[in-house]
Every structure is written in structure tokens, then in C-alpha cells.
Amino acid sequence: MDPDDLRRFLVSLPSKLGYTDNDALEQCLFKALYYAATAEGKYLRHLFPLIIQDQIDELDNYEFPLSLHDRRPFYTVKSPEKYTHPKGRACARTFKKGDPVFQCQDCSYDETCVLCVDCFNPSDHQDHSVFSYYSRGISSGMCDCGDPEAFVVPLNCKCQTDSSELENIPPDFEQSLRLTIQICLDYILDVTNFSIQTLPFIHDHIDTPGSPLTSLRLSNYSSLPSGRYGGAVDTNSSNLWYLVLWNDENHTVDQALQAILAASKLAKPRAQALTQVISEQGKAVILEKSSYSELLVPLRNAQLNGLVATICSARDYMKESMVEIVFAWLQSLAEGNTLLSSLSSKIIAELLLQPNHQLSKVVPAEFIKGLSIDDKRRCFENGLLYDGKFVNAGLCEVSPYDNLSQLYKPAHLVLTKSPKLDRISSSRLQFFLAFEIRFSTKVRRQLGMFLVSHLIVDIPSKRAFSDQYIELYPQLITTMCLSDREEELNSMSHISAQLLTCPATVSYILQKDQLGIIMGPVARLIEEHSAIWNYDSGYPNLVDITNDKPHTYRSIVLAIQRGIDDIRHIIDKSVKSSLHSFFTHKNTVILLMFLRNFQGYWALERKYGDHVEIEQMDYIVHRLYSTPVLDIVQTLASAETDIKVAQDATKLIIDFLLFETGQEKCTWYPRFRC
């Protein structure tokens, strides 16, 4: 297969469909991708054992581009077969609602290590304490069978197959499948690289009066480069433009309805139908015009109540729809027969983790220069690249200091960037994670589990996954906090649940001295976005911002909870002898920056008597924050460590706590963002 044939097809498809025939997209794309992945149909039976010979014969005269008129599928429904997974690789099967889950207290490393019904072998667990339950389908759980780090004894899986079958796959089939998957991953990233209009930093400036950054300029520049796509020309739809309204977690359906009516003048029943589309799919076209300029006034009307609306060309909208379908095709590979599922998972993992990925085209820094007094910092907060490179702005190291008084300054003056994060892996995985908040709701609902299910199947992949996730952690937690419109869908919860609840992975993180990369950014986010200065204690104190920031607090609260939980997971899942990493001088200072946000935390005073009309709800905040922080401190207090390290850390902590009074500490003006 000539890979450029598929690349040209992807670029030319929107224009061939007149930029409007979205109904034909899935059929055209699935047909083309299966055709390419099977070496131009040669190995279709490997994917679809029930396909009839007549359907295969129809492909004899097929050439790219595939006919857009014959939209019949050339494949049939996959044949049902018993579920299996290769020996030596984790099952990683995601639990759906109603799936049975088994947990053996005698065999599992801890309560998070579980088995699916197909892998669970009763003979392995005779006379053991085994619990079973039905999955609610709302967590990030998956089967740990095949993961040697999940169980204290080897298990005899009921459904494992011989992994040597993968060695018998025809080389040209594997090559075609690999090239097709690579082109799919690269196409998703190349298109999403320019889907930046909903990012807060960009959205605050694009299409505003006098701004040099317009949707028209961005759209024309975003055409995929013909040199990287087989010479195809990515022609824009210059006479068809859309106004798109986006979903978020901060506005109601009624507010969305008002925005649609204000911008489009549609009849109310049609507008109500569009609100349902936005809720389910994350966005909807609410108005079409023949020119970009005709949508500028409706754009402003749609955003009067704070909702996010954008202008895009019909071509760009179709390309983003193609991203959804290409992603769905990649997911479908896991649903095929065992051989295809195992091979595609192996290929996807290798391609995602491959370092030094280069996008086909970068968003020039000149597009954003001058939009802020600190453009790079805003890029960091929004998951944006700066001239095609990740921005290192996470505070993970301790700045040199002469005396203890300097540790009472704001975190951004105590902590500094880590030079080693100037040279991160720049893998496809990291681009997917950085671009996550740009994806549609449909993709975001599946992205976390898609990544995890392919990347934890063996120990080398899990280690590389951990390294690349931690490298980007400062940007990911910051982006979730400050820029995510759909924070409930953020994949950090799925990834942390798999990596940071695994004791072996946590030990690996501590051995590589990556602790500060997690603690430092979390400490800064609490201090700058959810704290006020406590003049009695002399420290910043985390506070409940629910009522102060009603439109933005959700993402801040969830990100801070995510960060605290991640720190607690690392401590909770560590072997106590590994916790000495917390007591190096650098990590002790960063730990103090984190814990000082809770020093002098407000006390709860319950009111009694006949005239107490409303029960105070402050205890909820304590349950969310105080309890996990107390767990962190208690676990560290019982840690095993070198006596000299313990003495040095203890001295630093005591000196820090006893250094002058709170009033004397605050000799500078606390520049917090709250």
C-alpha cells in the first residue's frame, strides 16, 4: 500500500463531499481505513471472518480515492467469539455497567487490583477471601489480569492465548495496519493542532475588534501541508461558514437556548433541538453564512451570557468531524477478533510512546505574540504549543535561598522550573494529552480509557507511559484547572487511577525523583487560585471558592482535588521504605509549600440551640481537603528513612514553623490571584 494514497484521500474528502455531506463521512472513512489496513483488502478475512467472497471480489478494481457513490460497506458484522488476551500482556479490559468484577484479598496486591469474569479462574482462589460485585460503569476500572505488578502470586488466567500467534501474522498485513494507524494518529493531531478557538487565551482575543487574530486568518493558515499529505491540496470552503456553539459545565440548557435564539433567530422548537445536540455531542452549528464577516455580530450575540461560540469554515468543521470518526475507527480495532485486537493494541502503544513526534505544521508564535504580557505562560495554562514546542512553566525545583525568611514568599518566588522538563519526550501521547481540552465531547468521553487500555498492557509500556505523563503533569493539571470547559471529562482521573494506584509504578516515580513535578504545581495552584492570606498564621489558606467564582470554580476545585488525591495516592501506595524521597531537602521544601496552605485551616464550630435554622455545610470542604491532607501527614510521620535524612528534614520543618510570628512573616504584599 502506498501510504500517500490514504493521506491524499483524507485531505480531499471534504471537498469531494461538498463540505456538507456529513452523513457520508463515516461510511467513506471506515471503508477507506479498513481497505488500507488490510493491504488493499487482501487480508479482510483476518478482520471479518464472515465476509463473503463476492464482497472481497468487489475490491479487485478499487483504487484510491474510493468511490463516494457506492456507500455500501464491503465488510460484514464481526463474528462473535470467546474473549481472550495474549499471555504476557495485561487484559486491560474496561468494565462496562453491569460487568462482574472479582477481587481476591489473598492474591491481589491491594483492593484496586481486580479481574474480569473471563479471566477469573475459581481454582486459583479456593479458600480465599474473594469479593464480587457488578461494575457501575462510572469509574476508570479495568481488568488487571496479566499484570505481574497487580498480584502477589502468579495466576492461571482462564482465557489467555499463546502470544506466539502474533509472530505468524503476514508481514505486509502488519505493515499496512501499522501505516494506517500511524496516518490516523497523525491526522488527528495535525487537525486538532489548529482547533484552538475554544481555548480561553485564544477565545478572549480572536475575532474581537482590532485583534490581528481572526478565525478567517487561522482557518486559511490551517490547511494541511501538501508536502506531508501526498501532494493533495487542502482547499478551504471560502463561501460557507458556520457559527458553532459549544458545551460547558458552567451554563444551563436555558442559557444555551437563549444564546441560540439571540444569534440565529431560529424557531424555538428547532433551537431546543440544538441544545440537545450540544449536550450530547458537545457542539452544534447554529447558523450558516456565505462569508466569515456575516457571522461576527451573531457571534457576539451568542456569547452575551458567557457561553463559548466560534466561527469556522465548513471545511474545518468537517475535518473535526473526521477526527471523531477516525478516532472511532481506532477504537473499533479493539473490538475485533483477538488477533487483530492484540496486534493493533501493540502498534498503537508503540506509536503513541514514540518520542520526538513532529506535527506537519505549527501554529506560528506571531499569531499570539502581544496578546498577553506573558504569552508563554498563557500557552502553558491553555495546553498550547509555542512555535510547535511544549512550554516548560511548571514549578518543580527549589530556587536557591540564603535564609529561611525567603520560604515565606509566594510559591512562584520559592520554586522554579526544572531544566530537565525543557527536553521532554514530545511523543504522540503527550500531544494527545495536551490537546485533550480541544477535542469534542464524543472523543473526550472515550479518550482516557482508550489511552490507558493500550499503554498498561506490559511493564515497559507502563513505565514509558508513566514517564511521559509525569513529564507533562504540570501543564496537564494547570490546564485542567484554568482552561477546561468540561472538567468532568478530563482524562487525568483515568490515568492517575491506573498509574498512581500501582505501588510498583509509584516506587518507580520516587526512584526517578519525579515527586516535585507533581507536588510543586499543585501547591502553586492552591495558593494562587483557591487561597487567601491568613494574617494570624502567616500562611496562605485554602478556602472554599464555590460562592466567589460561580462560573469558573468547578474546574479549579476538581483540579485541586485531583492534585491532592494524586499526592495521597503516591504516599498511600508507596512502600514505607521508599518514602525517604519526601525528606530530601528539595522535596521537604516543596512539601512545606503544599502543606502551608492548610496551616491554621479554619476550625469548625457547630451551633446548638433552638434557633439554628440552617446546618452549616463547611464540613464538606473539610472532608474533601482536610482528611486527605491529614492522611498524607500521618503516613509520612510513620515513614522509614535514614536517620540523618530524617533529622535534617525535621530540623527544617521545625525551623520553618517556629520562624518568627505570623505578623512578622508577612513583610511583603501577598500577590495571590484570588
- Mark out the alpha helices in 303-393 (DSSP H runs): 314-332, 338-353, 375-382
One domain, residues 111 and 222: no
Q: Please tell me the distance from the alpha carbon of residue 353 to that of residue 10, in angstroms, as a whole number.
A: 24
Determine the Cα–Cα distance for residues 382 and 282; give it in Å rounded to an integer: 19
Answer whether residue 506 is part of any domain. Answer: yes
Residue owning grid cell 468487489 = 58
CATH label of the domain that carries residue 258:
3.30.1390.10
Query: Which amino acid is residue 362, in one-letter code?
Result: V
Q: What is the CATH number of the domain that holds 157?
A: 2.10.110.30
Report yes or no on 58 lying in a domain: yes
Question: Model confidence over 454-497: pLDDT tens digits?
Answer: 999 899 999 999 999 999 999 999 999 999 999 999 999 999 98
User: What pLDDT is stored for residue 645 in this prediction?
Assistant: 87
With a pLDDT cut of 90, the percent of the chain lying above it is 57
Same domain, 143 and 32: no
Tens digit of each residue's pLDDT (9 = 90 or more) over 11-65: 999 999 999 888 888 888 998 999 899 888 888 777 777 677 776 666 555 555 5
Asked whether residue 352 is assigned to any structural domain, the reply reads no
Instruction: Verify that 229 and 376 share a domain, yes or no.
Output: no
502 and 441, same structural domain? yes
Map grid coordinates 491554621 to a residue: 600
pLDDT at 469: 98
- For residues 505 and 555, state if they share a domain: yes
443 in the same domain as 316 = no
Which of 479, 488, 223, 248 is closest to 360 using CA atoms?
223
Separation between Cα atoms, residue 604 and residue 616, nearest integer Å:
9
119-to-7, 234, 514 alpha-carbon distances in Å: 40, 48, 34
Domain endpoint, select from 327, 353, 381: 327
* Domain contains 351: no
CA neighbor of 454 nearest in space, from 92, 49, 81:
92
Last residue within a domain, chosen from 267, 302, 327: 327
Is residue 218 predicted with pLDDT exceeding 60?
yes
CA quadruple 96, 102, 108, 109: dihedral sign: positive
Sheet with strand 283-289: strands edge to edge: 283-289, 241-246, 309-313
Q: Give pLDDT, residue 245.
A: 95
pLDDT value for 159: 84
pLDDT above 50 (res 670): no
Same domain, 417 and 486: yes
Using DSSP, state whether 358 is helix, strand or coil.
Answer: coil
Residues 280 and 314 in one domain: yes
Query: What is the residue type of 327?
Result: F
Q: Are residues 157 and 176 in the same domain?
A: no
When mean pLDDT is compared across 106-110, 346-350, 363-367, 495-499, the lowest value belongs to 106-110
Alpha-carbon span 368 to 360, nearest angstrom: 19
Query: What pLDDT does 585 receive?
Result: 94
Can you give the residue range of the structural domain that contains 58? 3-77+172-327
Q: Is residue 358 part of a domain?
A: no
The helix (H) or strand (E) run that includes residue 312 is strand 309-313
Same domain? For 649 and 501 the reply is yes
Tell me, yes or no, whether 387 and 476 share the same domain. Answer: yes
**What is the reported pLDDT for 519?**
97
Tens digit of pLDDT for each residue in 64-85? 555 555 555 555 445 556 777 7
Which DSSP helix (H) or strand (E) runs through 398? Answer: strand 395-398
CB 187 within 8 A of CB 4: no
Going by the DSSP 8-state scheme, the letter that residue 103 receives in this structure is: E
Residues 30, 330: Cα–Cα separation, whole Å: 10
Assess if residue 339 is contained within a domain: no
342 falls within a domain: no
Give dist(CA 166, CA 114) in Å, integer: 26
User: What's the domain count of the chain?
Assistant: 3
Give the domain-ending residue among 130, 161, 192.
161
Residues 453 and 567 grouped into a single domain? yes
What is the residue-averaged pLDDT of the chain? 87
pLDDT at 110: 81
pTM of the model: 0.91
Residues 6+ positions from 475 with CB-CB distance below 8 Å: 380, 383, 390, 391, 393, 394, 434
- Across 201-223, b (16+ Cβ under 10 Å) vs e yields bbbebbbeeeeebbbbebbeebb
Q: For residue 280, what is its C-alpha cell?
A: 450530547
Which residue type occupies 214?
T
The mean pLDDT value for 598-615 works out to 62
Mean pLDDT, to the nearest integer, of 233-242? Answer: 95
20 lies in a domain? yes
